[in-house]
Structure 1
Amino acid sequence: MSKAKAYAALNANSALVPFEIERRTPGPDDVQIQILYCGVCHSDLHTARNEWRNTLYPSVPGHEIVGRVVAVGKQVRNFKVGDLAGVGCMVDSCGNCPSCHDHEEQFCDHGFTGTYNGPLLGGENTYGGYSQSIVVKESFVLHIRHQEQDLAGVAPLLCAGITTYSPLSRWGAGPGKKVGIVGLGGLGHMGVKIAHAMGAQLVLFTTSAGKIEDGKCLGAGEVCVSTDPEQMARYAGQLDFILNTVAAPHALDPYVELLKRDGTMALVGAPAEPHPAPNVFGLILKRRRIASSLIGGIRETQEMLDFCAEHGISWRDKRTGAVRVRLRYNDRPMPEPR
């Protein structure tokens, strides 16, 4: 065992505080990673505040991890000391169920083990990337092929990237498809970039007129302010697919009406309270679907990272080159590390 400095939430109301955790000694199939960057995901906030009512305290969030390999076990074959590596939302699964055999570990019948907050269906706590280091079995470690100067912008791909890439890929958001992205937050930001790179005709829907320029800069061909009924009406029955990234309860019916016959809207936001139930007639009269998606399996996550490396996609702002990061919690700055 080794000690590592970290940031932890000790209860649902406290700010994150400096904390010390123990990491296991690497076993034969383990990779030890010195953490260089960790993204700040909305799931981290949901968990720290216990909004999903399943938090194990103390909670060390962080599942968008990029770092450098500092040790490998004797049986590790695909990583060596000095490699750049990533860890996403999962660090283990049963490996034996149909989902695991299909490389869909996120749907493991026995519940995957989260990078933080323990196994999905209950078990010992795990600690995430708001820390100095992490030890993970090789089969859940990912290769990072971006340039080293981009690493801060690569970290959010490990959750926001795969959460949007997986449904966009599954529902064929490529050339000849008209795709809507709802929301320009953490997920929507990545969804716009990835859908644009896939070649879709892209419409961004936002409640903020101030985000029109941002949306177009990121790759949206058109931007619709969704609070304006006239603007929304222009897209009625026009879209093949909608990726709805909003993580707050909201009416789904206005977006269902934008779908073509046989169109699909996939929900990837995870609100603390349910969305209002949609009007079933808006679905059945056009054979429309409301679907959902989680993250992606390890194989698909590596595919996403390689796609983003090939297309130069990261969290960086195209106009300034800056990485958009604000380390705040409950509207208070993070404390300085000790």
Structure 2
Amino acid sequence: MTVTKAYAATSPGSGLEAVSIERREPGPHDVEIAIEFCGLCHSDVHTIRQEWGSITFPLVPGHEILGQVTRTGSAVGLFAVGDTVGVGPMVDSCRECDSCLEGEEQYCSNSNTDTYGAIDARNGGAVTQGGYASSIVVDENYVLRIPEGMDHASAAPLLCAGITTYSPLRYLDVQAGDAVGVIGLGGLGHLAVKIAKALGATVTVFTTSPGKTGAATDLGADAVVLSSDPAAMAAAKDSLNAIIDTVAAAHDLNPYLRTLARDGALIQLGLPGEPMPAINPGTLISKRLAYGGSQTGGIAETQDMLDFCAEHGVAADIEMVAATGLNDAYDRMVAGDVKYRFVLDTSTL
């Protein structure tokens, strides 16, 4: 075992505090990674504050991990010491079900192993600990290669927020000239805008805040619609081929569905903690619309996303945070006070 510095929740109400944790010695197919940066995801906040259920303490969050390979197992063939690599929301899966065999590990029928807070059955049943730490050990098959030339800090959020928005855009086969709507302009939304534009789409941002119009156009949006304005929503009727919904609070989807053209689709990424208003099936039936959801992506698709973003200059807009500022950053994330993603500088641990 190797001892590493980390920040963890140690009890209910403790917030995040400095701890030391143990990492396993690299096995034959493991790589040890010295972590440079780790993005802060809203899922981290929900988990640590036990808004999605009880957790096992202590728990180190973080699943947007970027760093350098420092050691490799005897059978590792994909990476070498010194490589710049990343780790996203999962570090293992069953590797046997149809989803895993088809490169869709995120939908593993037997439950994939989350980067933090999961039972690591392949490694003694310990609870996985995430990237708010100085190092991590991960099986090479769940590690991503960071393309040369990418800024390391702003690339870290791509490992969750980036792939979570890229995957549904690819699933919907968004092409140059398509019209894409993005609901919400936070950590996910701002990357959805950038990636859709890089795919050649015309992008419309829906927001409830008039003050975000300038921010949306700065990111590349072609149009901004104030969703609280019935006239503006009516003017957008039948104008879009696809919508990516990043909002994690309950909201009425029916007005947005009416902005889709025939055969359009709305994909839900945000996971509200309370019931959503009912969808009128007549709206779907009248234009053969589809409403679906999407998780993060598989390992191969995540690598494809990283290569795509490197080619097109797509990166997250970030604000760096030191370890001692993590609890304040969590409060600011809940308040929506960040443009657009916090990234932990692990040198401050």
Q: Deviations over 1:124-151 (max 9, x none)?
A: 4210000000000000010001426x10
The answer (yes or no) to whether the contact 1:251–1:275 under 8 Å persists in 2 is: yes
Q: Percent identity?
A: 51
| Contact 1:15 1:330 survives alignment (8 Å) | no
Contact (CA 8 Å) 1:182, 1:244: kept in 2 or not?
Answer: yes
Match of 1:315 in 2: 316
- What stretches of structure 2 of length at least 5 have no aligned partner? 334-341
Contact 1:267 1:293 (C-alpha < 8 Å) held by counterparts: yes
Aligned to 1:280: 281
Instruction: Give deviations 1:89-144, integer Å, cap 9, x for gaps.
Output: 000001011000000000111100000010599x6421000000000000001000
Per-residue CA deviation, residues 212-245 of structure 1 (Å, 9 max, x unaligned), is: 1111111111111111111111111111100000
Asked whether the 8 Å contact 2:184–2:205 carries over to 1, the reply is yes
Instruction: Render the CA deviation track for 1:18-73: whole Å, top value 9, x for unaligned.
Output: 11111000011000000000000001011111111153322211000000000001
Q: Does 1:126 align with 2:128?
A: yes
Residue of structure 2 in register with 1:305 after alignment: 306
Q: Quick one: structure 1 residues 293 and 331, their matched pair in 2 at CA, closer, same or farther if it must change by over 3 Å?
A: closer
Amino acid at match of 2:134: Q
Partner of residue 256, structure 1: 257
Q: Which SS does the other structure have where 1:285 is aligned? A: helix
Equivalent position SS for 2:303: helix
Q: CA deviation at 1:331?
A: 4.9
- Whether the aligned pair in 2 keeps the contact of 1:112 and 1:120 (CA below 8 Å) is no
Structure 2 equivalent of residue 320 of structure 1: none
Letter in 2 for 1:324: E
Amino acid at match of 1:208: S
The one-letter code matched in structure 1 to 2:117 is N
Tell me: CA distance 1:212–1:12, structure 2 relative to 1, closer, same or farther (3 Å).
farther
Per-residue CA deviation, residues 270-321 of structure 1 (Å, 9 max, x unaligned), is 22223222122221222211101000000000000000011111113xxxxx
Paired AA for residue 165 in structure 2: T
Residue type of the partner of 2:98?
Answer: P
Counterpart of 2:74 in structure 1 is: 74
Residue 136 (structure 1) aligns with: 138
2-side partners of 1:139 and 1:19: how far apart?
28
Is 1:8–2:12 an aligned residue pair? no
Note the C-alpha offset of 1:14: 2.8
**Alpha-carbon distance, 1:176 to partner:** 2.3
Structure 1 match to 2:93? 93
Do the aligned residues in 2 keep the contact of 1:11 with 1:48 (CA within 8 Å)? no
Give, as a single letter, the amino acid of the residue that structure 2 aligns with 1:159.
C
Instruction: Please say if residues 120 and 126 of structure 2, whose CA atoms lie closer than 8 Å, have aligned partners that are also in contact.
Output: no
Q: Could you tell me how far apart the structure 1 residues matched to 2:259 and 2:111 are?
A: 35
What secondary structure is seen at the aligned counterpart in 2 of 1:18?
A: strand
Give matches, 1:206-245, under 5 Å. Answer: 206-245=207-246
Q: What RMSD over aligned residues (CA atoms) do the two structures have, in Å?
A: 2.0
Hey, which bits of structure 1, 4+ residues long, moved more than 6 A? Answer: none
Please give the secondary structure, in 1, of the residue aligned with 2:44: helix
Q: Gaps spanning 5+ residues in structure 1: where?
A: 317-322
Q: Do the aligned partners of 1:113 and 1:120 also contact (CA within 8 Å) in 2?
A: yes
Moved more, 57-66 or 4-13: 4-13
Alpha-carbon contact 1:315-1:324 (below 8 Å) kept: no
The 1-side partners of 2:206 and 2:55 are apart by: 32
Per the normalisation by structure 1, the TM-score is: 0.93
Q: Partner of 2:152: helix, strand, or coil?
A: helix
Contact 1:173 1:200 (8 Å CA) reproduced = yes
- State which drifts further: 50-59 or 166-175: 50-59
Whether the 8 Å contact between 2:2 and 2:22 is mirrored in structure 1 is yes
The whole-number CA distance in structure 2 between the counterparts of 1:275 and 1:119 is: 31
Show the 5 A alignment for 1:10-25.
10-25=10-25
Contact kept, 8 Å, 1:18 with 1:337, in 2: the verdict is: no
Alignment of 1:141-220 (within 5 A): 141-147=143-149, 150-220=151-221
Contact in 2 for aligned 1:65/1:158 (Cα 8 Å): yes
CA distance in 2, matches of 1:105, 1:47: 21
Instruction: Give the whole-Å Cα distance in 1 for the aligned partners of 2:244 and 2:77.
Output: 37
Give, in whole Å, the separation in 2 of the partners of 1:146 and 1:62: 23
**CA shift in 2, pair 1:120/1:222, >3 Å:** farther
One-letter amino acid of the counterpart of residue 149, structure 2: Q
Question: How far apart are the structure 2 equivalents of 1:304 and 1:41?
Answer: 18
Code of the residue aligned with 1:87 in structure 2: it is V
Question: Are the equivalent residues in 2 in contact too, given 1:15–1:329 (CA < 8 A)?
Answer: no
